[in-house]
Amino acid sequence: VNWSLRTQLLRQSAIASAIILVITAMALHGLMRMSLYAEFDAALLVEAKSLASHVEQSGDEIKVEISLDTMPEFIRQDQPHYFQIWDAGGTTVAKSASLADVSTLPSPPHFGTTTFTPLKLPSQGRGRGVHFAFKPHYEDSEYVELSLSQTQETNSKPLLTLGVARPIQELDRTLAKLAWLLTFVTTVATCVTTLITNGVIKKGFKSLESVAQNIEMIGVNDLSGRIELQSVPSEVLPITKRINELMTRLESALNREKSFSADVAHELRTPLAGLETTLEVCASRDREPKAYQVTIGKCLEVTKGMHVMVNNLLTLARAESNTLSLQLEETNIREFLRECWSPFSSKAEHRGLKVLWDNQASGSLSLDREKLRLILGNLFDNATTYVDDGGMISIESEIRNEVISICIVNSGCILSQSDIPLMFERFWRSDKARSDAGIHSGLGLSLCQRICHVLNASILATVVGNTFAIKLQIPLPPQSLTAKLHFPSS
Partner 1 sequence: MRILVVEDFLMLRESMVLGLREAGFAVDEAAEGETGLWLAQSNEYDVIILDLMLPKMDGITLLKRLRSVRNSTHVIILTAKDTSHDRISGLDCGADDYVVKPFVFAELLARIRAMVRRRYDAKSPTIEIADLIIDTSKRSVVRDGQSIELSEREYAILHLLALRAGRVVSRTEIWENIYDRNATVQSNVVDAFIRLLRKKIERPHLQTLILTRRGHGYMLGETR
User: Which residues contribute to the site for partner 1 (CB under 8 A)?
Assistant: 262, 265-267, 269-278, 280-282, 284-285, 298, 301-302, 431-432, 434-438
| DSSP at 457 | -
Cα→Cα distances 452→223, 321, 403, 424, Å? 32, 14, 13, 12
User: Under 8 Å CB-to-CB from 394, ≥6 apart: which residues?
Assistant: 355, 356, 357, 358, 407, 408, 409, 410
Q: At what angle do helices 333-350 and 369-386 cross, to 10 degrees?
A: 30
Closer CB to partner 1, 77 or 435, in the complex: 435
For the CB of residue 285, give the shortest distance to partner 1 in the complex, in Å.
Answer: 7
Query: Alpha-carbon distance 444 to 451, whole Å?
Result: 11
For the CB of residue 483, give the shortest distance to partner 1 in the complex, in Å.
Answer: 47
Q: Region of 286 please: left (phi>0), alpha (psi -120 to 50) or beta.
A: beta
For the CB of residue 310, give the shortest distance to partner 1 in the complex, in Å.
Answer: 16
In the chain, what are the helix, strand and coil shares in percent, each to the nearest 5?
50, 20, 30
Q: Which helix (H) or strand (E) holds 431?
A: helix 431-434
For the CB of residue 422, give the shortest distance to partner 1 in the complex, in Å.
Answer: 14
CB-side neighbour CA atoms (13 Å) of 341: 19
* Residue whose C-alpha is closest to residue 458's, from 445, 447, 449: 449
Closer CB to partner 1, 18 or 439, in the complex: 439
Closer CB to partner 1, 173 or 434, in the complex: 434
Closer CB to partner 1, 87 or 251, in the complex: 251
Closer CB to partner 1, 188 or 281, in the complex: 281
For the CB of residue 435, give the shortest distance to partner 1 in the complex, in Å.
Answer: 5
Q: What is the per-residue DSSP string for 22-48?
A: HHHHHHHHHHHHHHHHHHHHHHHHHHH
For the CB of residue 304, give the shortest distance to partner 1 in the complex, in Å.
Answer: 12
Q: Which helix (H) or strand (E) holds 329?
A: strand 329-332
For the CB of residue 438, give the shortest distance to partner 1 in the complex, in Å.
Answer: 7
Closer CB to partner 1, 42 or 254, in the complex: 254
Closer CB to partner 1, 333 or 437, in the complex: 437
Q: Is 294 helix (H, G, I), strand (E, B) or coil?
A: helix
Closer CB to partner 1, 142 or 431, in the complex: 431
**What φ, ψ does residue 101 adopt, rounded to 5°?**
-85, -35
For the CB of residue 297, give the shortest distance to partner 1 in the complex, in Å.
Answer: 11
Closer CB to partner 1, 202 or 266, in the complex: 266
Closer CB to partner 1, 196 or 262, in the complex: 262
* Residue whose C-alpha is closest to residue 473's, from 412, 426, 407: 407
Sign of CA dihedral 228, 233, 236, 241: positive
For the CB of residue 444, give the shortest distance to partner 1 in the complex, in Å.
Answer: 18
Query: Alpha-carbon distance 239 to 229, whole Å?
Result: 11
Closer CB to partner 1, 192 or 273, in the complex: 273
Closer CB to partner 1, 36 or 282, in the complex: 282
Closer CB to partner 1, 133 or 437, in the complex: 437
- In the chain, what is the greatest distance between 2 CA atoms, to the nearest angstrom? 164
* Residue whose C-alpha is closest to residue 56's, from 91, 81, 85, 17: 85
- Quick one: 365 exposed, middle or buried, by C-beta within 10 A (0-12, 13-18, 19+)? buried
For the CB of residue 298, give the shortest distance to partner 1 in the complex, in Å.
Answer: 5
Query: Alpha-carbon distance 233 to 426, whole Å?
Result: 42
In 404-430, which positions are buried (b, 16+ CB within 10 angstroms) versus exposed (e)? bbbbbbbbbbebeeebeeebbebbbbb
| DSSP at 401 | T
Q: What is the per-residue DSSP string for 105-129?
A: PPPPSSTTS-EEEEEE-TTSSEEEE
Count of helices and strands (H, E) across the chain: 10, 14
For the CB of residue 267, give the shortest distance to partner 1 in the complex, in Å.
Answer: 8
For the CB of residue 262, give the shortest distance to partner 1 in the complex, in Å.
Answer: 7
For the CB of residue 264, give the shortest distance to partner 1 in the complex, in Å.
Answer: 10
